[in-house]
Every structure is written in C-alpha cells, then in structure tokens.
Structure 1
Amino acid sequence: MFAGPGVAGAIRNQFNLVGNTVNSGISGGTEGGGASGGDTGAVSEAVHAAVAKDARDWTLDEQKAVAEDIAKKGEASPAYAKAKAAMDAGTEWSITLTDGNTLTYRIIGINHDDMVDGSGKAGLTFHTTSSGISSRMNATDTNAGGWETSELRAKMNSGEIWNLMPSDFQSKVKSVRKLTNNVGGMDENAAVTATSDKLFLLSYSEIVPTSYWADSDPWTSSEGTQYEAFKGKVTENFSADASLANDIEWWQRSVAPNVSEGFLEVYLDGDMSLAEAATSCCCVCPAWCF
C-alpha cells in the first residue's frame, strides 16, 4: 500500500483477507444523475406487489421490475419513493452464490448508469456490501491498460466471479457503459474511455464528491459522477471517511495516479485514496444494474 495520493512507496502483497480468492479468468460501461422520462403507462403486477410490501422483502423479480419501471417513468414511478427510501436507509438484500456463500447488496444509484444499447438509463444500480469475494487485479504489478484489460474485469464479466452469480441473477443484469482511464497511472492527461460491463468496480470519482488530483491528473474527475447513496455521506476525497469504513479493503477500478504498479482501493478506515499493488488480494465488491 502506498502512503498517500501520488506517492510511489512500498507495495504490499497481502493475501490474508477472508473470502473466495480467485486468481485467473477470461476477458469479458457514461453515466450521470437525474430521472429519466418516457412511458408513464401501465404498472406491472410485480411493481404493484413491490409497492405493497416493505422494500427489504423485495424479490429479485420485484427489484428488476421496480428498476425497469423507474427507468421508464423516473420519479413518476409508484415505486420510486420506496426505492429511494431503501437507498437512503441502506436496506440490504442477499443472494446465495453458486459456491454456497451469501452476497449482500444495496442500492447506490437511481437512473444513474447508461445502458450499452442506448435505450436510456438503468433504473437501479446496486453495490455489494459483503466481503466474501477476493482477488488480485492482475498477475503482475502493473496498471497498464487500466480496468479495460485487467484480469479482474475479465473474471467479473465472463469468468469465475461472474460464474459465482446464480442464473436467475445473471439473467436480470443489464450491460452498462463505464468510463475509466484505460491507459495507466503514469499518463497525467490520459483520456477516459468506455467499456461495456455487467459486473463492475466503482471508480474513485463515483465515490467522492470531488477529486483530490483534479489539477494534476484531470482524468480522476471524469470516471463517472458520485452515486446518489454517497452524496452528503461521503464528503472526503482524501483520508479516511467514516461512512466507508468497513474493516475490509476493496478494489476500485481506477488506476493509482502517478504510479504504474497499482490500482486504488478503499482501505479499512474508509480512506479511498490509497494505492494497492495489482497482484495484491483485496475484496471484490461488484456493482451492477437492473
């Protein structure tokens, strides 16, 4: 782990996190806020059922139906208020992975991510809150090629981590466009590019309100906007943020600025500006959209 932003220091290769360590895989998306407009027509039975119950009891089918209704109608959806309240409260759901472990998750965004097919926004973005999956980012200590060419992205979109997800879950996930510096950490003026992703890691700019490196590395401000669940809660852009502290270290998809060996992580105490060597084993907290 490097000592702080932009400082190349000792690299820590640590493999002591509890979880399922996955170390090989096969290679497997622009975003913004605001509610989408469009059809305000009929409400499906699944949406009616979701509105009639506590959000914590929503099934996968109801989560998907709510997401699609919100994508069509924005705040006019009868499920919008319940989904937003669930996001604000940090309501969690769970699924059983194919290896028998449990993955827990919550809503972090509403009409935030752009669909790959150009049809508009994905209604809901979810993020993992459990620590049962862990992996290295790359087989060697390099961030060349960024998230796009990383070993971990491959595992999450068509390899071992994707295959941990049950088929009923897989069938509901939408492919979205994610913006990332896919060049490497040594290029201060790197242009961000888009990838198509089913499961993805959060970027630094999707977590923090503003970039610590905005002046020296402008790309760090351009890898997406802060998710709604973090607004007003995650207020730091460097050093520990209590709202992110979770006693685990989890990967971001952003390369570490000014170094060539690693990617950013969220540290145990909620510091989101630390770099970890690409061969280190950290928790993987997938995000996805319905």
Structure 2
Amino acid sequence: MHAAAFLPRGGVARKTARLRGQSIIEYVLIIAVVGLVIVFAGPGVAGGIRNQFNQVTNTVDSGTDGDNFMSAEEKAYREAMKTVASKDAKDWRLDEQKAAATDIAKNGTSSVVYAKAKAAMDAGTKFSMQLANGKTLEYRIIGINHDDLADDSGKAGLTFLTTSAIISSRMNATDTSAGGWEKSELRQKMNSGEIWNLMPGDFKSKVKPVKKLTNNVGGGNANKNAAVTATSDKLFLLSYSEIVPTSHWASGYPWTSSEGTEYEAFRGKVTNSDSVNACLLIGSGWWERSVHPSYSAYFLYVGYNGEPSNASSATGTTCVCPAWCF
C-alpha cells in the first residue's frame, strides 16, 4: 500500500490539529515518520506535509505552545524568576533570594539575575530577617557559586554572611581546640541547637547544607601538619583562608591555606596582615571556625577592627556571625 494512504482525507492534517502533551521522544518519532511519508508520497502531498510540519515546528519554537513542554513546577519557576529579575536586589524577599540563588546555581553568569546579585555583593547590600527572639538579623552576599553542596549535586548559588552583632557564644565548655570545628560545642548549636532554633521556619526550609573544609584535629605544634576534612553544615563560621588571600602561617602550618578559598566579597579588600580591614567591621569581634595554629586552647576570631588573625580561648564569649547558602 502506498504510504500516503494513511493520511486523512485531503492528504494533509487539518490546521486545527495540534500536538499536545507529547514527550520529546514522541516528537522525535513523529519527525521520523513524517520524513518517511515525505519520501514515499508524491511531490504535491509531500509539499503539503512540509508546510503543515513547519507550522507546528514554528509554533513550538516561538513559544506559543512551548508551555506544553513544561511541568507546572517549571512554569511557576519561570514566572517567579520574571518577578525576581524585575526587582532591585535590595528589595528581594527571602523567597526571592532563594529563587535567585537557584537560578544562578543552574545558569551561572548567564542567569538573568547574576548581574544584580554580583552588584549587591560588591556594594555590600544588606538584607534582614526577624529571629525567633524578636531581634533583627542583617546579612549580605559574600559568594556566588562558591560553596560545594553537601550532596555533591553542584554549587550553592549564593553564600550569605551575618553582619549583625546580636548572637554570642563560647566555642567550647573547656579551653581546648581538640576536634576543631567539627567537634565544637558552637557547631552543634548552629546546626541543631539554640542558634539554629533562632532562625525562622521559612529560612530553615531554604538553607542548603554545604561542605566546609577545616582542620578538625586541633591547634598547636603537634598538629602543624594536620589534614583538613569536610563537614556538612547548614550554618557555619568562616575560616581564616576564606577571609584572606594567603595565610601568613602557610610555611609553618600548611593547613591554614586549605580551609576553603577566599570569598569573592573580600577579594582585594582584605589583607593577611595585622592591618584594619574595614569591609569586615561590624563593631565587634566574631568567631572563625579555624583553630589557632600555635596554641591548642584557642580559636581564631576577627577583631573589632576587621583584623582576621586574632585569637581567643575556646571558653571566651565572642560574637557569632553565621554564614549559610541558598
């Protein structure tokens, strides 16, 4: 039987017929079938088939019926991104910050909101949210596609750092850095205890756990060649090497250069000396997760003037500036 005999009366499908709900594989099969029909059909019928098929293709490519390829979730995401892209970054609400981070993680510098997020980071734009105790926590973007997700699925789109001096805690109940950040009392508070519980519910649902590299052995000369290991954290403290470009302890304590790389917000603004770094100034000193290289009872902290090489005993009460990723 001639292949053209399978076509509807008139040889060409009616213009009102549309391809709806098909998967990409089904469309590939349709294209293959149409190709065979064109080969076996006569010139007149083949021309009609080509015209009709081009109309369908153009309709899909133009986006008129393109939504048929998207799930309800994808459609909602597209609409949400239109809203986020239309706003100034300083006006992004929590859910819009999350949407921006998701799109940047997916599309990198091609994201429709990448330029706005970077401009906000460079300008030190501050966002805010209310904690469970009624206090307002301010924070800013410090990294873009910087942190590795704990589930190995890629990068977290945005990293944020608290800029409010409203949370304080000791690092440990005793003066020791043994076990480093991983075994510290403060880490437990930040990931499941009282500090985590200060965070609002809609914030908690948006945080993406990430891998943080740290000397989790402890400080002191006995551990000068300690290897860094990874922890999975929802809230975390910054390390010394995430703040400075190079470690001035690098030659004697190699691990001090290996606890993550400097965040983009600090590049060109923070030194590794004892000088003042205004971009880190929050009016108070705040903990880092790095142990002090030389002393086994101390952790590093950023001084009130922004100097990142200060140290405090583990039992000292110091400001906590949680960082997190969306």
Aligned to 1:218: 254
C-alpha deviations, 1:14-58, integer Å up to 9, x for none?
Answer: xxxxxxxxxxxxxxxxxxxxxxxxxxx986222211111111110
- State the Cα RMSD in Å: 1.2
Q: Is the 8 A contact 2:165 2:282 kept in 1?
A: no
What CA distance in whole angstroms lies between the structure 1 residues aligned with 2:82 and 2:103?
11
Residues 1:195 and 2:231 aligned together: yes
C-alpha deviations, 1:197-242, integer Å up to 9, x for none?
Answer: 0000000000001001010000000000000000111133444323
Q: 1:88 aligns with which of 102, 122, 125?
A: 122
TM-score scaled by length of structure 1: 0.84
What CA distance in whole angstroms lies between the structure 1 residues aligned with 2:215 and 2:115?
35
Aligned to 2:298: 262
Letter in 2 for 1:102: T
SS in 2 for 1:44: helix
Aligned to 2:212: 178
Q: 1:244 aligns with which of 275, 280, 304?
A: 280
What CA distance in whole angstroms lies between the structure 2 residues aligned with 1:118 and 1:240?
37
Q: Is the 8 A contact 1:110 1:123 kept in 2?
A: yes
SS in 1 for 2:122: helix
Aligned to 1:71: 105
Identity across matched positions, percent: 69
Q: 1:129 aligns with which of 163, 181, 203?
A: 163
Aligned to 2:33: none
TM-score scaled by length of structure 2: 0.75
Residues 1:62 and 2:96 aligned together: yes
Tell me the CA shift for residue 133 of structure 1.
0.4
Residues 1:105 and 2:139 aligned together: yes
What CA distance in whole angstroms lies between the structure 2 residues aligned with 1:135 and 1:268?
16
Q: Is the 8 A contact 1:210 1:237 kept in 2?
A: no
Residues 1:227 and 2:263 aligned together: yes
What CA distance in whole angstroms lies between the structure 2 residues aligned with 1:208 and 1:162?
27
What CA distance in whole angstroms lies between the structure 2 residues aligned with 1:77 and 1:243?
27
Letter in 2 for 1:138: N
Letter in 2 for 1:281: T
Unaligned residue ranges in structure 1 (runs of 5+): 1-40
SS in 1 for 2:238: coil
Structure having the larger proportion of residues in strand: 1
Tell me the CA shift for residue 89 of structure 1.
0.6
Letter in 2 for 1:62: E
Unaligned residue ranges in structure 2 (runs of 5+): 1-73
Structure 1 238/214 Cα, relative in aligned 2: closer, same or farther at 3 Å? farther
What CA distance in whole angstroms lies between the structure 2 residues aligned with 1:189 and 1:239?
27
What CA distance in whole angstroms lies between the structure 2 residues aligned with 1:168 and 1:125?
17
What CA distance in whole angstroms lies between the structure 1 residues aligned with 2:187 and 2:100?
27
Q: Structure 1 runs of 4+ off > 4 angstroms? A: none
Q: Is the 8 A contact 1:142 1:261 kept in 2?
A: yes
